[in-house]
Amino acid sequence: MAGKHILVVDDEADILELVRYNLDKAKFTCTCETTGNGAVTTARSVLPDLIVLDLMLPGRYGLEVCSILKDDSKTRHIPIVMLTAKGSEGDIVRGLEAGADDYITKPFSPKVLVARIGAVLRRQPKNAAGEDDAIRAHGIVIHPGRHEVLIEGQTLELTPTEFRTLYFLARRPGWVFTRSQVVDAVHGAGHPVTDRSVDVQIVGLRRKLGSCEDCIETVRGIGYRFRE
């Protein structure tokens, strides 16, 4: 992970310095911003490997920043870790639905933050993946290396969380996974995601799949599976 470029966005100077100091210790390269507008501009210009994003920012709110970057083909691949004092279940669900790859609440452990950043970076699909790695089923083509999903040749606009959920299920067609297993595979063990938020993500993913939505089946009382 050494040398990876992290953009840290927070309007509290002490938090910004604490995060920057610990990322420097972990051999990351760090750029800092204090406003939502600055975050969008810098992300588009430097294309960092990951963004640590506060929610309560001047200019643009963190959720809006996340949505803007995930809607931009140039920046949608950049993973986002939200670091915020807003820690209710609703806040977490909204953050993940906006496209965040992880959600950490303040106060936080700097060591845990660095570990979670490393975990998110390790989960990113490798660029070396080739055509033979693509999954083709039910009219859907999933390219892990490109982080791309096609239906009838048309690109599907998925958030990183939605992509990883679909890819995780599709790799083992017919296997039934519990909600906890989906969370661990997509976000990492110990991630603060509830069963309800997993269901919400699946609903959103099915909606985007359109006519192919029935490829994800609900197994009552257990979880989900990708149809064989």
Q: For position 65, what pLDDT does the model report? A: 94
Q: For position 47, what pLDDT does the model report? A: 86
The answer on 185 and 84 residing in a single domain is no
Query: For the chain, what is the domain count?
Result: 2
Tokens of 96: 């993940």
Q: Could you list the residue range(s) of the whole structural domain that residue 168 is in? A: 131-226
**pLDDT tens-digit map of 139-153:** 898 988 778 899 987
The answer on 80 and 53 residing in a single domain is yes
The answer on 96 and 23 residing in a single domain is yes
The answer on 136 and 109 residing in a single domain is no
- Domain boundary, last residue among 123, 146, 172: 123
Q: For position 213, what pLDDT does the model report? A: 93
223-226 and 177-178 as β-strands: parallel, antiparallel, unpaired?
A: antiparallel
- Domain boundary, last residue among 98, 123, 148: 123
Q: For position 109, what pLDDT does the model report? A: 93
CB 215 within 8 Å of CB 226: yes
CATH number of the structural domain spanning residue 10: 3.40.50.2300
Residues of the chain with pLDDT under 70: 1-2, 125-132, 188-193
The answer on 116 and 157 residing in a single domain is no
The answer on 108 and 135 residing in a single domain is no
Local structure of 178: helix, strand or coil = strand
Q: For position 190, what pLDDT does the model report? A: 62
The answer on 144 and 104 residing in a single domain is no
Q: For position 132, what pLDDT does the model report? A: 47
CATH number of the structural domain spanning residue 213: 1.10.10.10
- Domain boundary, last residue among 65, 91, 123: 123
The answer on 77 and 19 residing in a single domain is yes
Burial tier of 162 (Cβ tally within 10 Å: 0-12, 13-18, 19+): buried
The answer on 119 and 15 residing in a single domain is yes
- Exposure string for 101-133, b = 16+ CB within 10 A, e = fewer: bbbbeeebeeeebbebbbbbbebbbeeeeeeee
**Using alpha carbons only, what angle is made at residue 61 by residues 149 and 92, rounded to the nearest 5 degrees?**
60
Q: For position 127, what pLDDT does the model report? A: 45
**pLDDT tens-digit map of 193-213:** 677 888 888 999 999 999 999
The answer on 200 and 148 residing in a single domain is yes
The answer on 43 and 111 residing in a single domain is yes
Q: For position 77, what pLDDT does the model report? A: 86
The answer on 104 and 20 residing in a single domain is yes
Q: For position 189, what pLDDT does the model report? A: 60
